Amino acid sequence: MTERDVFEYALVRVVPRMERGECFNAGVVVYCRAHAYVAARTHLDEAKLLALDPGADVAGVRAALRGVEGLCAGGERAGQAAGDDPGRRFRWLIAPRSTVVQPGPVHTGLTADPEAELERLLDLLVR
């Protein structure tokens, strides 16, 4: 049997109009301490965004989602968080915020392959 490690994940949600409270999933962030792994994958359903808010800033939402992926990737793409460890970057991303792109609650699980888990969750919960 393959050894599995604890991982945490949060959905990345798009809330086009805060006053309406409607949202949809646009990505997943996965963190696995045992693997020093943090990554995000996003997928913006532009038709869904525009159905909820015909005046939505699609380019702005895409940029915010790329920012989530960049922060996870570390390095220059992470900006001021470039030197932070994966756990710190994950915690920063899951902090509550009142913007169009927001984190959902954190969930946990077990995995032998955090990268495969990220893709599985993206397919299951976002696409």
Tokens of 71: 């922060």
- Residue 122's CB: how many other CB atoms inside 10 A? 19
How far apart are alpha carbons 50 and 109 in whole angstroms?
33
Three-state secondary structure string covering the chain:
CCCCEEEEEEEEEECCCCCCCCCEEEEEEEEEHHHCEEEEEECCCHHHHHHHCCCCCHHHHHHHHHHHHHHHHCHHHHHHHCCCCHHHHHHHHHCCCCCCEEEEEEEEEEECCHHHHHHHHHHHHCC
pLDDT, average across residues 107-121: 97
Q: Which residue has the higher pLDDT, 42 or 98?
A: 42
Q: What's the confidence (pLDDT) of residue 1?
A: 60
- The predicted-structure confidence for 8-57, as pLDDT tens digits, reads as follows 999 999 999 988 889 999 999 999 999 999 999 999 999 999 999 999 99
Q: What is the pTM of this model?
A: 0.91
Q: Which sequence spans correspond to the domains of the chain?
A: 5-126
For residue 77, what pLDDT is reported?
A: 76
CA distance 77 to 89: 12
Q: What whole-number distance in Å separates Cα of residue 113 and Cα of residue 4?
A: 8
Band of residue 94 on the pLDDT scale cut at 50, 70, 90: very high
> Is residue 29 within 8 Å of 38, Cβ to Cβ?
yes
Confidence of residue 85 (pLDDT cuts 50, 70, 90): confident
pLDDT in tens, 54-84: 999 999 999 999 999 998 887 777 777 777 8
